[in-house]
Structure 1
Amino acid sequence: MSGLPKLPGLSFRDPSIQRFHLCQTFDIINGYRHPKMHFTGHGNSELDINSVAYVSKLEPLHYDPSLTYGRTRAKAPPLYLPHYALYDQKCLTFKAFFKQSVFESPAEYFRVRHVNIIYFLEDDSMTVMEPKTANSGFDQGRLVKRGKIPKTDHGEVWHWKDLNVGIDICIYGIVYHTVDCDKYTKEFMRSQGVIVGETEALPPDPYTQDRKFKTQIHCTTTPPADDKFRRFLEYDGKILKFDAMWDDRDSEYGEIRPYEILYFLADDTVAVKEVMQNNEGRDPFPQLLRKTKLPKIWTERPVNYPSIYLERSDAEVNEYYQPKDFRVGETIFVLGRRMFLYDCDKFTRNYYQKVLRYEQQPAIDMKPKEKPKIKPPMPPHDGFGSLEDSMQNTYMMIPKPPRKDVIKQVTNANKFLRYEMKFDAVHPEDTIRRFVMKYNLGDGTVNIYEIIIENSGVIGGKYLRNTMLTKPGGDPLDPDYYSPADFYIGGVITVYEQRFIIIGADLYVYRYMQENPDKFPCEIIENMRNYMFIQGHLKDDLLDEEQEYDEAVKKAERDAIGRDLEKNATEMEKCLEQMHVGGAEFDPSSDDRKRAQILMEYEKSMEHKEKVPPYGIKPLNKDCAYPLVIGDVKSIECTDMGDQSLFTPKHIDTPEEALQKHYDAILQKHKDVCETGDAPPCDIPPPIGIDIRRKVDSAVSAASPLMVQPVELPKGACRIKSVRFAEGPERCVRDRMDLCDMRTDKIPCDCTDYYQKC
């Protein structure tokens, strides 16, 4: 089958071959591609190149390739260049000079002529060239025609090997002395092993030097002509503008009048323009002075000048005003009128700065000062409506509602501060009445509501509608209104001649003070904090403070771990440390850094992740914005403190019991006050020795002590009797003479509030 010719119909296909795809180039092994080393043909058949069965005995690889393809071409020899082609247009240039004698001339005896000796390498020829000099009187240029110059009488010629710097060359009887050569000549001579001589200076020609000294350049100065056409083309439309003021107040009905002075650079003329003002009462006139040359001294004229029928020309005027005479802050005279220059425009300032090299002074304010307006007096308030509405009637014919602070209302919408109050009572039946005051932060109004008490005989409910509450003793037209900074525990406010005492507040009031400490004095915040602490509203704050203190203690203990430990380095570590070799395993400080990193990670893991609310009992390290002095809170709350075993077993009057007995005696005397006609004595009660302190751990807080602390009493003492101290005895002394007045009710002295039970 293999011997059949390859003709149509004589080719047979192997029926065992079913796959005819080409072999892949890579194998995929563990997800990576690896190149194949063995390739197969169609149907995994062996290729001829992989089988030794297909290698014939007459394999051409066993023979020399030159037998089949012929011998390779040899490298071409280098191209031969003749001498004249290799050194074509290459020459050596030497600078030289020679002396030439001058006869029959008294001014000179010899001339020094400078030449260039040029040697052509292509044919070893030479020429001498002299640079041309103007007015020298000699034929200059080529002195020696190019050719081979004979050196001796034996037929020898000059060669480049005979040339050098600093030698004498004799050419046709004239001796030339070389002093220098160009850069190419130096490189060529050095490449051929010739040492080039030192460079010399060319001697000057004495006759040429003498002619230069005798020849002088005559300079003439011609005064510049005043070319009016040139000035017109250069300065047309360029005007220097100054603002001036004419002070004519010395004359009758004189005044200060503004003007504009225009200086035209094209022809040095001056014009003065009027500055018209609205409703000034003058006829509109465009100019005070038309465009003309302005003389400096306008009264200067000859004695015999006929001024009756002739005007002055430029010949009779000595000097006119020029740009150098106009300066801001100085006075010029415009035909006898004093003009004070107080400002100029931007173009004028730039012109003086760039052309005249002069900086104009800044503008002077000449505007008249406005007279202060007299504020009209405001009429008194008639009592109808609010003060703001009544004031609007005085501002305009058609009144508009007063403006409101919309931003304040939107920011503080539905935000109220609530306080509990009581009467500063004179009658004992008013002592049980309680009121709730609500301050609106949006508009600053105050609303008072009375708490309803059943079977009290007093109708509760709304006591005061929303209104701006004014302070007593102020200006009726500019009243001073109550603000949250005026409300504190124990404070007294006056509502339309009725005095109220604030005895309580909402917790939101204290939170609002913490959020806005700049709006409240320090004493007000401290007073409200003490009240909230007594009422037990700050338990969460105390827990947060204790938690922060515990975390601080734990952190201090963690920081102290391993601080005093010292690691003894081995000899190997000391050696490596001196050699500055090694990483973390040889670095003595690596363990310390690792320990610090572990402690930092542990500390972050122990941090309190919950958000702590921004309130609590914290020290105030701020200066009080409002100096306000508040006395001690004079109310005492009875609380159960400690155990009875802490006190002495025998009965001793406590301070509260001694105070109770004192007021019982006064109350007994008040019963017969009108029978005897003598007012009972109001003695000062014995002081209560209460140590007002607060023991707070210094590591937790450094706050100042609280003003109120529970009194140390035995358990159950509050249930016996208690007296609430309302205010000092000065009121009893003040009203002691009015106890039996027939115009008032007969009531006991209201120095105390007495209660039978707690």
Structure 2
Amino acid sequence: MSTRCPDLPFLPGYSFNPNIGRTNFRLTPVLGFIGEVKDGNRGLIEKVRPNMFGPISDKFPSFYPRGQTIELPGYIIFDKQTLCFDAFFQETLQEVRGSPFQVRTVKIYYFLEDGTIQVIEPKVENSGVSQGTLISRQRIRFPAPMDDNFYEMIDFNIGREVELYGRVFKITNCDKFTRTFLNRCGISVSDPIVSPEDPYLQLRSHDRDAFQSKKPNRNRNSLGQFLENDRKVLHFKAYWDDQNTEYGYLHFLELRYYLADDTIEIKELQSETGGEHGFMFLRRGKLPKRYRELPAVGSNANYTVLNVLGSALSARRYLVDPLDCGREKIEYYHEKDLTIGGLINCYGRKLVLTDADAFTREYYATKYGISEFAPISPPASNQKTVYIARPKERELPPWNGFGSYEDSAQNCITVEPKAPLRDFKKFLLYDRIGLDSHILRFKAKMISKVPENCSRKFIISFYLTDDTLAVFEIGQTNSGFTTSTFSKRASVQLAGQKIFASKPPLCYTPLHMFIGATLSINGFTFVLTDADEYALRYMEINCGQFPKANLKKIMQNVREKLRPIYKDFVAENIPKENAVMSYSQLRNKLCKIMGEEFTEHEMITIARAFSASCYNPTYDRAKIRAIALTELKRFLWDDLDRLREYFIHTDDSKTGKLTKKECYTVLKGARLPFDNELVEKILDVIEKDDECKLSYEDILQFLDRNICAPPDEPPSNIKNELWWSSEQQPEAGKLIDWCEFNKYLDLESTFREPVEHHSHSIEAVENS
């Protein structure tokens, strides 16, 4: 009967809850209380229901009697504690003759925290049955008629049988934790039981032929052979005598046998002694011993298809012949068939092996014990010289003026438009790497009939990546010319060549770039007058590519020119006061002797090699030490003992030497009150060995005020004064060391005595 009045609308506040005042909701409680109310520590526990419709029992599923244990929940006391038992059960096999059943081993886990049980069968590869979790984790009841209660810990022991959902498991063993836990609970655990043998596995071991697959795998696994013999090749020399046929001749061949996959490759040589390969005689592949005809389609397949069933592509099936009826067995040449003097049938051509290389001889001696390798001489050739026709170079039509030469040549080679190929190896070799730009920059001036053009200044950049040139003009005040790009980056052709020709014209290369060279760029003539430090140093390092910067070659030419007049040349140019000669002085003398072929770049190379610049730095070792000790005194730093410990700890090999980077790291880590510029200057004046390693003992003595302390330095701007570019060094090559130049010539010892009598050392000049 509804308590709602039909006259009232069905809105909130106009209806009433029928459960108000109701006490019996007809729900059976499934939880019971543990402990009394007066204890104040009551807990809930699940009650036991014998069956789905029976009353709830007052029996609590607890192994320990009340009052003998600590009153804590089981999930806290037995958290992550599990009993593990080994067991087996038998499964009936009706489809296997001679094996009525099979034995399957399992693991039974009993979780003490909640009394749940889990059964897992370990997975065995190629077992034929689905394995893994047989019974998921849950509480399991006893079989009927004892299904009122659940399995407890005392129901599991070695030798006992438990029935879980209709399967009987025989417990044979347990782990160490389970045995110890049950013994402490007063439960005796017997010794392990041996599991019975599986008759199905015994049947498979005795009769393996009965269980062979119907479609055996015919694929040969050659990965092991490849990994063992990769890059191992047997080389033989051979010949094919084809002189009996018309236009035939004696072919000299090289046979290569690849041990990785047993394939053979044969190349024809241009001559008996070897040299370049003429052409490919036989492409790499397996060589059959007997050749009759071309193989049919599908004859080299691993399987023979008998029939194709089904019409649709998705439901199509193939019937494969497991016996390979009608397959012809083909024998291929193997390494054991190759011997010096042996005959090989190469598709009807008889090849005779005459010799082998050292690796092949060692291989056969190690594996087959063959020690005699007498080479065989080939028969005499009827023809004196055999010339192999070389492919003619393709002749292209003359350039028509549209696009570049490379574009036009590419369009003549193929109908499909393709971009010209770029020298990618050269690009990777000369691409920018850090501060190494691979760009040679030269100063240049223009040679023109217009006087205003002769005073203009230009910078010519030569890019080694693709041998291109770019010209930039530097504008001068009131000259009428601004700083801009005079000629964009591009390949520049040499002057005096035919423009409309079939072959591409020659362009400027690195050999044309040197100081004093004359370049013709877009109708303008430029003369290179100078180069930056990077260009000069790069050309000196790579002197093999730049002969104008090759000091050895230049001095050899000077030596040959001075040999007849060496005595007069030395006597005329002996310095009176010191052993230094100016650049212009030596240049004028060498130009008269060497002639017009002697370039300005060669003179600059000589001047840089024998430079004698007198340079006294403003901040020497004593000055820098005075500044450093003043800074230490100003900041009250006195911790040399700890700094010594830092150096010793960093020096793993205990050699007393560290690299500059390691010393810099130690000094900055010790929190010395020095700026970065001062630390760099200190490390520059410290003693170094042949490997440019610094002695940290010298650094400690350098910072020790008790050892010859200099007077304090007045305060100054250290960052500005010790900056690396604040003190400009003189340009190398302005002054030339005459003694070193004369010593490098090393002509006749009789002419060297007066020179040595009047010469002075470089150190004396620098000290002056």
* TM more than 0.5: no
- TM-score where L is the length of structure 1: 0.26
State which structure, 1 or 2, has the greater radius of gyration over its C-alpha atoms: 1
The structure whose RCO (Cα within 8 Å, separation 6+) is larger is 2
